[in-house]
Structure 1
Amino acid sequence: MAEIVEAEHWIESPGGRLYAKSWAPCDLNSKSPIILFHDSLGCVALWKDFPQLLAGSLGRRVIAYDRLGFGRSDARTDILERDFIALEAERFVPLLCEQLAVPEFVACGHSVGGGMAVETGAKFAGCKAVITIAAQVFVEDKTLQGIRIARQEFASVDNVARLAKYHGDKADWVLRAWIETWLAPEFAAWNLDAALGRLRCPVIAIHGDRDEYGSLAHPRRIAAGRGSFHIFPDAGHSPHRERPALVMGVIKDFLAYSADPAG
């Protein structure tokens, strides 16, 4: 694998500073970089070695950032708005692209981050392709049941402590933001249908057949009439961690034949 150069960045926003990290091979090509959107409990550190593997395998710069309130980004105390997924693309992606000089990119997101990648692709002509990993596109009973089970598991002090390893004293807010937002009755009607209808770039949906937070209806709806989906057997909610080499291969093949003009 090519040598990878890592760099840390701080993105200024009206709500506070966002932490970002980038990985770039020394022999960087001119292909559009990949922006990673993390899941509901995630952050840059929880991507583990996935960004480095992506950068080395694809020869592209990879950028991941902690959403406001997560990881090393500044804390927040407000309640997430019902349309927080769309607002992430509207409020923060332009700041990231401007301050890191990224005019064109590929959006790749895990779980709720996949929804943010879709919203980003729907809003910006500079988004040349969208990759979703275990994304949800509507509020499904299976998703809510998975969250209720997780809520019981996080009643354990040890589990909260593990979350605090990545989010520090923001861990309680991160946990509440996930559980309370998704289980709120007013969130039940949320879906990505409008954003999916506005997508004009290539899209691929990656999903595990044992995903505890969403059925195969999600990747099928993402891909319907606009892209493709890939189902990994015996994989759960994090196929990029469970089957990294296979996921890497699927992404590499997708981008090689996508509409990314530099791909």
Structure 2
Amino acid sequence: MPQPHTPPPVVATDHRIALPGGAIFVRSWDPAGGDAAAAPVMLMHDSLGCVDLWRSFPERLAAATGRRVIAYDRLGFGRSDPHPGRLTVGFVADEAETVVPRLCGALGIESFAACGHSVGGGMAIETAARHPDRCCALVTIAAQAFVEDRTLEGIRAARQDFQDPANLARLARYHGDKARWVVDAWTETWLSPEFADWTVDAALAALRCPVLAIHGAEDEYGTAEHPRRIAEGRGTARLLPGVGHVPHREQEALVVDLVAGFLAE
């Protein structure tokens, strides 16, 4: 009688990597017996996110793909050092330009698949465009490709919610005394007039790798126009019925399967 498949054990390892503005916290998940030659998956978190808020997704993705999975807290988030100032309007592209090369150098990464959630998806797009020789595949999850009215409405509602000290305290469980900076960095940057014309169109035009754009049909921060624009002429858009802004938590097994199948191709 055939035995059920048991995923390989996954070993998590923590790192700290020095950047010019401070040190960032990094965690890698390595599946036992995985394919050492396969490009690892680099995860980029959302505007309120951090390594811990990926929950079990990285470990399950590592087990399903047999690839190393890497996630890090951006400067100012989670267990990384405080950010030395305010986010600039160009912060999405800056992440790809300044942080990713240092991360690759510190961990000995020659090539990788970029995977980002929400604004992290924009960072993954910029990363794939700016490092075409290193980035072999791109996955976006609930990413924004431009500033949309629906996005701004959701951010305004969230900014109001975080006036409640209880909501800020819940966020502080992950970001400590950086929680207020995290909220303001998200809301005030996206709602600023200077950010109104932001898009990833130029980066999309420069992409040379396969693309998978995953999006929830009920996403409160963006319509289906975002995955359509990201994937059009470059890959596949998957719109998930009944799913909101965090598909990898709301339908974790499905998203793991989608990403694993895409990378296997």
TM-score tier after normalising by the smaller chain length: over 0.9
Matched to 1:28, the amino acid is G
Structure-2 residue corresponding to 1:105: 112
**What is the CA RMSD across the aligned residues, in angstroms?**
0.6
Q: Which runs of 4+ in 1 moved over 3 A?
A: none
Aligned residues: 257
Structure-2 residue corresponding to 1:148: 156
Is structure 2 residue 168 aligned with structure 1 residue 160? yes
Structure-1 residue corresponding to 2:26: 20
The CA deviation at 1:28 is 1.7
The CA deviation at 1:95 is 0.5
Instruction: Structure 1: give runs of 5+ residues left out of the alignment.
Output: 258-263
Among 188, 198, 206, the residue aligned to 2:206 = 198
Residues 164-203 of structure 1 aligned to structure 2 (within 5 Å): 164-203=172-211
Structure-2 residue corresponding to 1:38: 45
Contact (CA 8 Å) 1:77, 1:173: kept in 2 or not?
no
Distance across 2 between alignment mates of 1:10 and 1:39: 20
Distance across 2 between alignment mates of 1:248 and 1:45: 17
- The alignment partner of 2:34 has SS state of coil
Distance across 1 between alignment mates of 2:83 and 2:40: 28
The CA deviation at 1:78 is 1.2
Distance across 2 between alignment mates of 1:107 and 1:84: 17
User: How high is the TM-score relative to the length of structure 1?
Assistant: 0.97
Residues 1-263 of structure 1 aligned to structure 2 (within 5 Å): 1-29=7-35, 30-124=37-131, 125-257=133-265
The CA deviation at 1:256 is 1.3
Contact (CA 8 Å) 1:22, 1:64: kept in 2 or not?
yes
- The alignment partner of 1:231 has SS state of strand
Distance across 2 between alignment mates of 1:48 and 1:250: 18
Distance across 2 between alignment mates of 1:141 and 1:212: 11
The CA deviation at 1:77 is 4.0
- 1:210-262: per-residue Cα shift (whole Å, max 9, x none)? 000000000000001111110100000001100011111111111111xxxxx
Distance across 2 between alignment mates of 1:174 and 1:77: 12
Distance across 2 between alignment mates of 1:222 and 1:62: 23
Instruction: Structure 2: give runs of 5+ residues left out of the alignment.
Output: 1-6
The CA deviation at 1:26 is 1.1
Distance across 2 between alignment mates of 1:127 and 1:12: 22
- The alignment partner of 1:17 has SS state of strand
Distance across 1 between alignment mates of 2:96 and 2:54: 20
Structure-2 residue corresponding to 1:260: none
Distance across 2 between alignment mates of 1:89 and 1:116: 6
Contact (CA 8 Å) 1:132, 1:206: kept in 2 or not?
yes
Distance across 2 between alignment mates of 1:254 and 1:181: 33
Identity %: 58
- The alignment partner of 1:92 has SS state of helix
Distance across 1 between alignment mates of 2:25 and 2:107: 12
Matched to 1:7, the amino acid is T
- The alignment partner of 1:12 has SS state of strand
Distance across 1 between alignment mates of 2:21 and 2:122: 22
Contact (CA 8 Å) 2:21, 2:84: kept in 1 or not?
no
